[in-house]
Amino acid sequence: MTSHRPFCTCWPGATLWLTGAPGAGKTTVMTGLARRLEAAGRRVHVLDGDEQHTLFGTDPAPGRVRRAADVQRVGLVAEVLARNGVLALVAVTAADATQTDAVRRRHTRSATTCLEVHVATGSDRADDPYAAPARCDLTLPAYRQSAEESVTELMNLLKRRELA
């Protein structure tokens, strides 16, 4: 007699951090990706920079200092989720690479995968506090492809990294 146990697909946790200028389409792409992953049975949690005040409350610090602290707070929550088997989908604009580098270091210390994806707008504005990352795992040209095409590229990245 052969014993049959149910097959369980268990995925490792990871953080997928979408960065880009305000209005680049991070939230739209992330929401589409979350829907596709959830439909496939993947455990995901969305951390959207536009909703971080609901999660963390308001911070009286000046703009740049507050944004840097918010990035670190979101990075900590994402790392904890990822370390516990959840795919944390983050859409937060970091003003400079030092902020996301610190998030990556936190993930590295816990041996947790952190992928950074730049959602590119195709134009740089002089008054924009955002600087595109020098090093990222993928660049999505949101200015010349649909949100669905960007979601497909992200799914392919996750499959290559054996995260979906």
pLDDT at 82: 96
Q: Is the pLDDT of residue 72 over 60?
A: yes
The token pair that represents 91 in the structure block? 């859409």
Looking at residues 150-160, what average pLDDT do you find? Answer: 96
Q: What confidence category does residue 60 fall into, taking pLDDT thresholds of 50, 70 and 90?
A: low
Q: Lowest mean pLDDT: which of 26-35, 45-54, 136-145?
A: 45-54
Got the DSSP string for 118-143?
Answer: EEE-S---TT------SS-SEEEETT
pLDDT in tens, 103-145: 999 999 999 999 999 999 877 555 556 677 878 999 999 889 9
pLDDT at 105: 93
Say if residue 152 is exposed, middle or buried (CB neighbours under 10 Å; 0-12, 13-18, 19+). middle
For residues 60 and 72, the model is more confident at 72
State the pTM of this model: 0.84
Q: Is the pLDDT of residue 6 over 70?
A: no
Residues 6+ apart with CB under 8 A from 163: 11, 12, 14, 87, 113
Query: What domains does the chain contain, in order, with CATH numbers?
Result: 14-160 (3.40.50.300)
Among the listed residues 102, 103, 54, the one whose alpha carbon sits nearest the alpha carbon of residue 80: 103
Q: What confidence category does residue 152 fall into, taking pLDDT thresholds of 50, 70 and 90?
A: very high
The token pair that represents 62 in the structure block? 């000046």
Torsion angle of alpha carbons 50, 55, 60, 64, nearest 10°? -40
For residues 10 and 118, the model is more confident at 118
Q: Quickly list H helices, 9-162.
A: 26-39, 52-56, 63-83, 97-109, 147-160
